[in-house]
């Protein structure tokens, strides 16, 4: 700030220790910018240059995302196992839980397989947990699956479950064998009555 040319040694201190310096020579009224490069590991540090202080923090990198799947379930409408009329279908819901046990956000494509064939897929993203800011969160991914009569093996991320869709049976009085039995009984009763009447 003076008018004469001057030279000085400018020290950089980190946590009180001199770690670097610059020799600066300026004419009167001249100004310049001094740059220091500091390398430090994880932690918080206080820096000082000519009585001016500041601070910086080096954080550890986040643990990469790692999605863990669990608890594959199949939800049925109505009775278990589901029943349908011949030629009709039923829709079941397939669910699986997913937890990101890492710290960074991550995602993947989740595939639904039925009897070994991919029939549906969805792209998911899951936040990681960085205590104490927030904990790991488990989310549930849902699929809807429509099928007719048969037995099906469902697979999601290596987890498997199976379900069967049955043909609903008509009431016993509508079954052919019941009708035949009733007719047979009626004929037998009629014959018996006829024989009794003949004997009289």
Question: Is the four-CA dihedral 27, 32, 38, 43 of positive or negative sign?
Answer: positive
Identify the pLDDT of residue 1: 46
Question: 71-99 pLDDT, tens per residue?
Answer: 999 998 877 778 778 888 999 999 999 99
Identify the pLDDT of residue 179: 59
Identify the pLDDT of residue 101: 87
Higher pLDDT, 126 or 188: 126
Beta-bridged to residue 68, according to DSSP, are 99
Length of the chain: 200
DSSP assignment of 32-60: ----------SEEEEEEETTEEEEEEEPP
- Residues 50 and 76: their CA atoms lie apart, in Å, by 74
- Residues 129 and 93: their CA atoms lie apart, in Å, by 28
- Residues 143 and 118: their CA atoms lie apart, in Å, by 12
pLDDT-based confidence at 151, cuts 50/70/90?
very high
User: Global pTM?
Assistant: 0.61
67-167 folds as Immunoglobulin-like (2.60.40)
| Element spanning 117, H or E | strand 117-126
Query: How many C-beta neighbours within 10 Å does residue 18 have?
Result: 10
Query: How many C-beta neighbours within 10 Å does residue 76 have?
Result: 14
Evaluate whether 126 touches 107 at the Cβ level (below 8 Å): yes
pLDDT, the chain, mean: 84
């Amino acid at each position: 700030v003076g008018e004469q040319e001057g030279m000085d040694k400018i020290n950089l201190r980190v946590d009180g220790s001199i770690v670097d310096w610059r020799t600066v020579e300026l004419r009167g009224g001249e100004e310049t910018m001094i740059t220091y490069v500091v390398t430090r590991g994880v932690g918080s540090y206080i820096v000082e240059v000519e009585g001016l202080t500041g601070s910086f923090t080096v954080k550890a990198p986040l643990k990469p995302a790692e999605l863990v799947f669990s608890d594959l379930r199949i939800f049925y409408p109505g009775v278990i196992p589901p029943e349908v009329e011949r030629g009709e279908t039923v829709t079941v819901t397939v669910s699986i839980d997913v937890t990101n046990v890492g710290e960074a956000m991550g995602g993947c494509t989740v595939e639904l397989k039925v009897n070994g064939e991919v029939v549906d897929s969805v792209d998911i993203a899951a936040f990681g947990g960085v205590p104490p800011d927030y904990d790991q969160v488990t989310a549930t991914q849902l699929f809807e699956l429509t099928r007719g009569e048969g037995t099906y093996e469902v697979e999601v991320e290596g987890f498997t479950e199976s379900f069967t869709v049955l043909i609903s049976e008509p009431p016993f009085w509508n079954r052919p064998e019941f009708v035949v039995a009733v007719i047979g009984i009626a004929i037998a009763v009629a014959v018996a009555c006829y024989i009794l009447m003949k004997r009289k």
